[in-house]
A and B are shown apart, each in its own frame.
Chain A
Amino acid sequence: MKKWLLLLSFFTSLLICGEAETIINRLEENLRGKDLYAKMEIIVKTKRHTRAMLIESWGKGKKKNFTKILAPSRDQGITFLNLDKQMWQYVPKIERIIKIPASMMLQSWMGTDITNDDMVKQSSLADDYHVSILRKDGPIVTLELIPKRGAAVVWGKIISKVDTRTYTQIKDIFYDDEEVEVRAIEYEGVKQYGSHYVTTRMSIIPYEASKKGNSTTIRIRDIRFDQGISESYFSKNALIRYSR
């Protein structure tokens, strides 16, 4: 009898594990499609200032992403290229392409609460983390993501609440290596775009005492999936070419 119980629990855990990975894969598939174009407004709130930015982004697969700043005018034309976890930046004012070194990956991206590291690793959750189901409340599933051994990630753990009806996130909480909550991302306003569901508003709230009161809100203005984005966006030449 004991043997059967052990076997049963083993297969159940295998099934749950498989289910968790399926959820993460479907979530990433829903978010990314074959390729993706998006126009987004980013509002950064700090103690002294509130700033707004408008950006355009082109993505293909897990490893290719191109971003261009449209506004404010001071930053217009700055472009970013993420290729296989590496990041380059072109700044028209100084007319130079710069590779962001590893030592700067944890620095803020354009003064937001997003780091350079977030930008390059935005779609690699399934590759870098072991996923398991913590809780299930009907269609709402809470996932726990623990970094895989040797994965070059900055988080100690991520707890992610997912709506499996639309395969969109509701809330992510990020923990450091000592299991201290570092930040949360809240998602709202699910809309359907063709066969994809997208949360059109995303708020990043840092928990560190020194960043109390700060937040970064991203609003999707336009999003298009599977448009057949040209490969020309994903080369270093694109940084200058598409900057104008």
Chain B
Amino acid sequence: MFSLALKNLLFYKGRTLTTFLLSLCSTVLFVVYVAFMDGSHESMLKNSLSIYTGAIQVMQEGHHENPSYDTLLEDLPSVMQTLKNIEGIRAYTPRLESFALLSSEEDSVGAMVTGIVPESEALVSRLKEALVKGRYLDSEDSNGLYMGEELAKRLGVDLGDEIALVGSATDYSFAAERFQIIGLFRTGLFEFDASSAFVNKAYFDALMLSETMASSIVVTVDDLEKAETVAGEIAGQMPSRVEVLTWKKLMASMVQAMEVDSLFGYISMGLFFIVVFFVIMIFGFINISGRIRELGLLRALGVHSYEILKLLLLESAILAFASVLAGTLIGAYLAYFYEVNPIIIKGMAETYKAYGIISDEVPTRFDLFTIAWNAMVVLLLNFLAILYPVYYIRQFTPTEAMRHV
């Protein structure tokens, strides 16, 4: 039966080749398209996480929804001590965020001024590497301000200039101080660079009356995939009313935007597949219609209709498996190749900086499970496309089929 099916396929070369190529191209396109879509999403997410957000954040209940001084994490030393003993944590650092007014001689701008511990901050975020001018903060700094390059532009200031900070201390009393710009940074996240400035927490605490307080503790983990498990462990050892959030919750809006983007990606691929489905079906139909007399003859020679069905399905299966396998191999190779050597579109980061794109690289994501389900979809499509032609041929009796023109 197998050799007969193979012979048939080789006999109808044109139709076989067209169907094969169509199915092969669909598979390659699908695998590569999904790899690019997932790859760009993953790279955006990872960039955002490593720049500032971190994999896990520990904070007082309600702070994520309504950040305010009323929901600060108190008794910071004991919470930090607890984190020391949890496995899977790579580094952690406390931050005290305060929305304050920064004022230069020229202009005043509302900005997020954050007290950080310079050494441990450098282990959890890319703030230190983002330096473009001057220097990063150190633990001896007093009134040094490390400021986003875009924020400096908005205020019309540069390295060494003086900036006045006016805001509220954690007891809601008035807080004001003069700072000197010691460094400028550019993470590439436009909004962040245009609204953030950092101060040594030890000094900021004296101004904000927040010695044992923090808005959050940012935690990075050894393995991002295990963030949920580590978060669960931290939560188990924290006092009540302390929340442990993973990046999925912290970056919920970004994750949701990506899900919507993926959905639109799948819808456009779905439309493409509807076309592919009908083309394969029409080719199958033409192929089978042209063979009605041949199949009628086989029936007349005593071949059971069940076996004819088997023959047709086998032909389709050989074609589908061969094309999908070849397509998957090519697609998987491309996905792997471009993951290792991402495509570089010069100027993309500059053009789309407002959307959080910080690199000109467009990497793919090589994931065997994703590739496997992509291949299964095209395979299923191939089988579904042959169902109607097979149903059509079964309506003929052997005599009708042999007389068919």
Which residues from chain A sit less than 8 Å from chain B, CB to CB?
A: 44, 46-49, 51, 69, 72, 74-75, 78, 89, 91, 93-94, 96, 98-101, 103-104, 107-108, 110-112, 208-211, 214
| CB closest chain-B residue, reference A72 | B173
- Interface of chain B residues 161 through 205 with chain A (CB within 8 A): 164, 166, 168-174, 176-178
User: Are the C-beta atoms of A98 and B173 separated by less than 8 Å?
Assistant: no
Instruction: State whether B66 touches A75 (Cβ < 8 A).
Output: no
Is B109 a contact of A103 with CB atoms below 8 Å? yes
Q: Give the residues in chain B near A51, CB-CB below 8 Å.
A: 171-173
Beyond the given pairs A98-B101, A100-B101, 6 more chain A to chain B contacts, judged by CB atoms under 8 angstroms and listed by A's residue number, are A49-B172, A51-B171, A69-B174, A94-B177, A108-B172, A211-B68
State the CA gap A186–B230 with chains docked (Å): 49
Q: How far is the CA of A214 from the CA of B107 in the complex (A)?
A: 33
Return the contact of A110 from the options B69, B99, B110, B174 (Cβ within 8 A).
Answer: B174
**Closest A residue, CB atoms, query B107:** A101
Assess the A210–B68 pair: CB atoms within 8 A: yes
Chain A residues, CB < 8 A from B69: 46
**By the criterion CB–CB under 8 Å, are B110 and A101 in contact?**
yes
User: Given the complex of chains A and B, what is the CA–CA distance between A158 and B170 in angstroms?
Assistant: 31
B103 lies within 8 A of chain A by Cβ: yes
In chain A, what residue has the closest Cβ to B72?
A48
A93 touches B177 (CB 8 A): yes
B165 to chain A: closest residue by CB: A94
Let me know if A111 and B173 touch, CB within 8 A.
Answer: yes
B166 to A: closest C-beta gap in Å: 6
- Taking CB atoms, residues of chain A closer than 8 Å to B71 are 210
- Bound together, the chains give a CA A91 to CA B101 distance in angstroms of 12
Once bound together, how far apart are the Cα atoms of A46 and B168, in whole Å? 13
Provide the residues of chain B in CB contact with A112, threshold 8 Å.
172
User: In the complex the two chains form, is A98's CB within 8 Å of B174's CB?
Assistant: no
* A47→B108 contact, CB < 8 A: no
Interface residues of B in 81-107 (CB under 8 A from A): 99, 101, 103, 107
Interface size class for chain B? 20 to 34
| Given A89-B166, A104-B110, A210-B68, A44 and B177 contact (CB-CB distance below 8 Å) | no
Q: In whole Å, how far is A127's beta carbon from the nearest beta carbon of chain B?
A: 26
Are the C-beta atoms of A111 and B164 separated by less than 8 Å? no
Nearest B residue to A212, CB-CB? B70
Distance from B197 Cβ to chain A, minimum over Cβ atoms (Å)? 15
Contacts of A69 in B (CB 8 A): 174
Tell me which residues from 39 to 70 in chain B have a Cβ below 8 Å from any Cβ of chain A. Answer: 62, 65-66, 68-70
Q: How far is the CB of A73 from chain B (nearest CB, A)?
A: 11
Is B174's CB under 8 angstroms from A78's CB?
A: yes
Cα distance A96–B165 in the bound complex, in angstroms: 10
From B70, B164, B166, B177, A47 is in contact (CB under 8 Å) with B70
Let me know if B168 and A93 touch, CB within 8 A.
Answer: no
Bound Cα distance A98, B176 (Å): 12
A–B pairs, 19, beta carbons within 8 Å: A48-B170, A51-B172, A51-B173, A78-B174, A91-B176, A94-B177, A98-B108, A100-B108, A101-B101, A101-B109, A103-B109, A104-B110, A107-B99, A108-B168, A108-B172, A111-B168, A111-B173, A209-B66, A211-B68
Residue of A nearest to B177 (CB): A94
Contacts of B176 in A (CB 8 A): 91, 93-94
Residue of A nearest to B195 (CB): A103
